[in-house]
């Protein structure tokens, strides 16, 4: 068995690789809805394109998570980052909605090898009592990449076109792959398959796991709806440019990142259940307010509110997940937590697309807020 790497050895490389990969992914956040619409995508097709990424990720994550508990983390992270880099060029190759959906499916499968496994890696080496702190730092690196990405993507598109933005995404993902291959230490935690099976069965009965799953689905449903339909709302109804749309998305995500590390330390000192519920309530309020934004500055303030809610809830929820991971297997537990995120990201755009086609875009945000309230209630109930 390989020696357990230390935080000092591992975390900087893991954080830099994650930041670079997510910076590449974040580049296309404000572009993809407009890119798909230019191909003639309807609201439902737009939802399918967004959901495809999350559906394939949700399918692969539990499998990869369990394998990483017995075979180590590095291999899966490196393979996922390499596929990320290659599939960045697939967005340029795609010239219709079917091909774009295929690209998203493959991209999502690769994602299942990166984020939950990287989170499990951090969980493995986090000292007890400091789970919130280190998961807060990891979330900060993860969200910083996604947050700065839309700013870069909007600016690149305005000045050089969308193809250059996709090429840039590929280069950044390739850089993350090389950093992981060259500098990330391996970690191996071999467990018997029967033990993992028992852990999965026990985990499905845990009230905390059920509550965290419900919270993560509802939070991600709102985030998926926001990412998919805010660019359309801002461009069509407010008349904002890709650069300003990128700013709106970035402010929401970067605020979560900037506050995440501090909130992680708070999550180590205060009641984590209360922090999760409070952050979730703030987040659903932000979604309900989006249709009321009549100009850039109003939307900016509303998006900042959403960032605050996520910053309060996510480090506490991640710390609770690490605690459960020590009981049931870190890779499997993190994969289930991230699978909940994928389910939310899939449901939000799919149902949102149908709501847009048969109703109006404002109803999408109200629907997401209502689902956030349901998820918060289920979290409180299951973890009571």
Q: What is the CATH number of the domain that holds 283?
A: 1.20.1250.20
Q: With beta carbons less than 8 A apart as the criterion, state whether 11 and 139 touch.
A: no
Across the range 266-276, mean pLDDT stands at: 87
How confident is residue 241, by pLDDT bands cut at 50, 70 and 90? confident
Let me know if residue 1 belongs to a domain: no
Q: How far apart are CA 330 and CA 247, in angstroms?
A: 35
Instruction: State yes or no: pLDDT of 288 exceeds 50.
Output: yes
The mean pLDDT value for 315-333 works out to: 81
Q: Please report which residue ranges of 89-190 form alpha helices under DSSP H.
A: 90-93, 97-111, 115-125, 131-160, 162-183
Is 210 among the domain residues? yes
The encoded tokens of residue 329 equal 């297997």
Cα separation, 94 vs 99, in Å, equals 5
7 against 16, higher pLDDT: 16
**Count of structural domains, the chain:** 1
In this structure, are residues 219 and 313 in contact, taking their beta carbons and an 8 Å threshold?
Answer: yes
Q: And the tokens for 13?
A: 């490389």
pLDDT value for 195: 41
pLDDT score of 381: 94
**Does residue 194 lie in a domain region?**
no
* pLDDT level of residue 374 (50, 70, 90 thresholds): very high
More confident position, 242 or 291:
291
pLDDT at 196: 46
Assess whether pLDDT exceeds 80 at residue 155.
no
Residue 357 pLDDT exceeds 60: yes
Q: Kindly indicate the confidence band of residue 4, based on its pLDDT and cuts at 50, 70 and 90.
A: low
Is residue 102 included in any domain, yes or no? yes
* Confidence check: pLDDT of 259 > 70: yes
Please, what is the average pLDDT of the chain? 80
Calculate what percentage of the chain has a pLDDT beyond 90. Answer: 6
pLDDT computed for residue 198 by the predictor: 47
Q: What is the percent of the chain with per-residue pLDDT over 70, rounded to a whole number?
A: 93
**How would residue 194 be classed by pLDDT, with cut points 50, 70 and 90?**
very low
Specify the pLDDT at position 32: 77
Residue 232 vs residue 380, higher pLDDT: 380
Task: Provide the domain limits for residue 13.
Answer: 9-188+205-379
The pLDDT value recorded for residue 164 is 83
Q: Per-residue pLDDT tens for 61-87?
A: 777 877 777 777 888 888 888 988 888
Q: What is the pLDDT of residue 192?
A: 35
In a domain, 384, yes or no: no
Buried (b) or exposed (e) across 173-192, using 16+ Cβ within 10 A?
Answer: bbbbbbbbeeebbebebeee
Which pLDDT score, from 0 to 100, does residue 200 have? 65
Closest to 98 in 3D by CA, of 36, 140, 172:
36
pLDDT of residue 190: 47
Q: Tell me if 195 is assigned to some domain.
A: no
Please state the rounded mean pLDDT for residues 304-319: 88
Question: What's the chain's length in residues?
Answer: 384
What is the Cα–Cα distance from 202 to 224, expressed in whole angstroms?
30
Q: State mean pLDDT over 252-264.
A: 79
Q: Is 198 domain-assigned?
A: no
Is 359 part of any domain? Answer: yes
């Amino acid at each position: 068995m390989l020696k357990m790497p230390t935080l000092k050895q591992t975390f900087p490389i893991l954080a830099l690789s994650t930041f670079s990969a997510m910076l590449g992914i974040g580049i296309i956040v404000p572009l993809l809805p407009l890119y798909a619409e230019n191909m003639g995508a309807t609201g439902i097709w737009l939802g399918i394109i967004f959901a495809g990424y999350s559906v394939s990720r949700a399918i692969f994550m539990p499998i990869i998570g369990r394998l990483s508990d017995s075979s180590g983390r590095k291999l899966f992270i490196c393979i996922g980052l390499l596929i990320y880099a290659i599939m960045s060029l697939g967005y340029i190759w795609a010239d219709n909605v079917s091909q774009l959906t295929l690209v998203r499916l493959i991209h999502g499968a690769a994602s299942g090898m990166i984020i939950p496994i990287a989170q499990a890696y951090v969980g493995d080496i986090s000292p007890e009592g400091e789970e919130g702190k280190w998961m807060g730092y990891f979330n900060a690196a993860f969200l910083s990449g996604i947050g700065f990405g839309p700013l870069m993507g909007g600016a690149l598109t305005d000045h050089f076109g969308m193809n250059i933005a996709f090429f840039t995404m590929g280069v950044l993902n390739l850089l993350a792959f090389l950093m992981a291959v060259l500098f990330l230490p391996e970690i191996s935690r071999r467990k018997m398959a029967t033990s993992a099976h028992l852990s999965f069965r026990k985990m499905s009965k845990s009230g905390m796991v059920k509550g965290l799953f419900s919270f993560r689905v509802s939070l991600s449903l709102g985030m998926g709806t926001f990412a998919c339909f805010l660019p359309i709302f801002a461009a069509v109804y407010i008349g904002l440019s890709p650069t300003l749309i990128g700013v709106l998305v970035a402010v929401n995500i970067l605020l979560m990142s900037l506050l995440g590390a501090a909130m992680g330390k708070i999550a180590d000192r205060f009641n984590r259940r209360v922090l999760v519920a409070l952050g979730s309530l703030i987040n659903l309020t932000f979604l309900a307010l989006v249709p009321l934004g009549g100009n850039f500055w109003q939307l900016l303030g509303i998006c900042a509110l959403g960032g605050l809610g996520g910053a309060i809830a996510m480090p506490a929820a991640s710390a609770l997940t690490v605690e459960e991971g020590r009981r049931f297997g870190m890779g499997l537990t993190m994969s289930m937590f991230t699978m909940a995120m994928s389910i939310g990201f899939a449901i939000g755009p799919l149902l949102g697309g149908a709501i847009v086609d048969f109703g109006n875009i404002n109803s999408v945000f109200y629907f997401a807020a209502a689902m956030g309230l349901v998820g918060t209630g289920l979290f409180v109930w299951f973890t009571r």
